[in-house]
Structure 1
């Protein structure tokens, strides 16, 4: 397992940038090697002079890079709409942060392997079985660096925009208190319907009420509660 020292990141650069008509602070986090070479890991986008009068923690989105969804606008996933909705919410909140994980494409397997998984999905696999067929876990992301970045920004309590209980659990274990979960949804299309069903029912992703259902009949699904 990676140690805390190994996951700790440094601020590489920071500057205000306009996002639409709102000025926000963009910070690049990463590692500096012994040779002085920088490895960029995470970008954060933080509201400037956030409102603190209510004592409410900032709203946060931890978003893994998705070239196909975020850049190309592919409807095979819901990443692009989630990113847009999260950024809009953060800007409107005047107290929020986007944590963009540059090196977590394809739930941690990288872009080339993600496209290999897409090819397997075109042949009949779902998003989970495709990853497993390539020798990867269904969920390979580690959010320790995200927690380190939040602490660098002076944040240890958040309202987290996510449907993924894994993010909530990891952040809590890492000392970032998730005081509220804000769901992100409503982005279903004919192209991502099966993908979202697998995330909801097999990977345990939650709806607006925090409910989920097992994907009965799937070879990886756990038996229903009460079953022997």
Structure 2
């Protein structure tokens, strides 16, 4: 019997790419399809990202209400725009757009959670009341997506320590955390405060780069 390990099945396939002009730069849009779900994930790339130098990067989970419908209940749309502007200003970077709406619970369930929030629950309590984890997102797809471009080191635009921890565990080196503090307003103050108090988000530019073991 052979002792050779069977290679792990790929998590997703790279499909194709095209030019995507935006108000800030002309990106290259890359399309991937996830095997287990059939979901289509995207990467927006700009400049020379396969040079081996750390790449300015954003891992952005889909938020239709914020990204497309301009909702002020969250900071997602503003973070998406802010990240693309920063990449354009630097002339080099990548944004991964993962299709995991509502912290992984889906669009309809997110709207159910919004209804519970209107009745007094915070964002964490609403997800738990619906029978979900406070944050059900998974970042394992980031590795093959970044490997597609030869990226092993990133300057990560995030306030979320779980993203830093997830990429580090996958073998991606986070050389720098770039805070992305945008669009605090009258409608999302409680949402942002809950992110900090219950999910450990780093809402100060001076927050630590990587959390210590056991802090998550």
Q: TM-score range by the shorter chain?
A: 0.7 to 0.9
Residue 96 of structure 2, aligned match among 94, 99, 104:
99
Residue 198 (str. 1) matches residue 194 (str. 2)? yes
Residue 19 of structure 1, aligned match among 19, 22, 30:
22
Partner residue of 1:167?
163
Partner residue of 1:214?
none
Partner residue of 1:221?
none
Partner residue of 1:87?
84
Q: TM-score, normalised by structure 2?
A: 0.87
Unaligned runs of 5+ residues in structure 1 are: 212-228
* Aligned pairs (5 A) from 1:29-178: 29-31=32-34, 39-50=38-49, 56-102=53-99, 104-178=100-174
Question: Aligned-pair RMSD on alpha carbons?
Answer: 2.0
SS at match of 1:128: helix
SS at match of 2:193: helix
**Offset at residue 39 of structure 1 (A):** 2.5
Unaligned runs of 5+ residues in structure 2 are: 1-6, 209-216
Q: TM-score, normalised by structure 1?
A: 0.82
SS at match of 2:199: coil
Partner residue of 2:206?
209
**Offset at residue 187 of structure 1 (A):** 1.6
SS at match of 1:189: coil
1:105-150 Cα distance to aligned partner (Å, 9 max, x none): 0000000000000000011100000000000000101100022201
Q: Which has the higher contact order (CA 8 A, sep 6+)?
A: 2
**Offset at residue 154 of structure 1 (A):** 0.8
Q: 1:21 to 1:178 in 2, by over 3 A?
A: closer
Aligned length: 201
Runs ≥4 in structure 1, deviation > 6 angstroms?
A: none
